Structure 1
């Protein structure tokens, strides 16, 4: 049984080393938000999702606040 555990730990350590290497090789000095900037430019589905989200958030506001916004 201890041999199985040692083998499993060795396999996990090898997998973690591979994942660390993959993450380190994919990292760049450019922040993630700059890497994805413009991803949704001129995308009507994104614009619609943002509109619907805004409508939903507005629907959660008390009516007195909604009336003053209009």
Structure 2
């Protein structure tokens, strides 16, 4: 085995060991996983979602009350 091959293997092993030793907080975690569940059981958030839904529904045309041609 050539020295270059041995060094490459050792570098890969060191990288794996460093990853295993890193604290969880420094590992790359998608933003949506970090905040997932942060509003669970939050009545203020639930109310904001309800009001937002009502507002969006108010912007929709009322098809039942439109005149037919």
Tell me which interval the TM-score lies in, with the shorter structure as reference length: 0.5 to 0.7
List, as ranges, runs of 4+ consecutive aligned residues in structure 1 with deviation greater than 4 Å.
none
Q: Residue 63 of structure 1 aligns with which residue?
A: 62
- The count of corresponding residues between Structure 1 and Structure 2 is 40
5+ residue gaps, structure 2, are 1-24, 65-69
User: Over aligned residue pairs, what C-alpha RMSD do you find?
Assistant: 1.6
Q: Residue 38 of structure 1 aligns with which residue?
A: 37
Question: Hey, which of these two has a bigger chunk of helix by percent?
Answer: 1
CA deviation after TM superposition for structure 1 residue 27, in Å:
6.0
Q: TM-score, normalized by length of structure 2?
A: 0.53
1:24-35 superposed matches below 5 A: 28-35=27-34
Rg (Cα) greater in structure: 2
Q: TM-score, normalized by length of structure 1?
A: 0.52
5+ residue gaps, structure 1, are 1-25
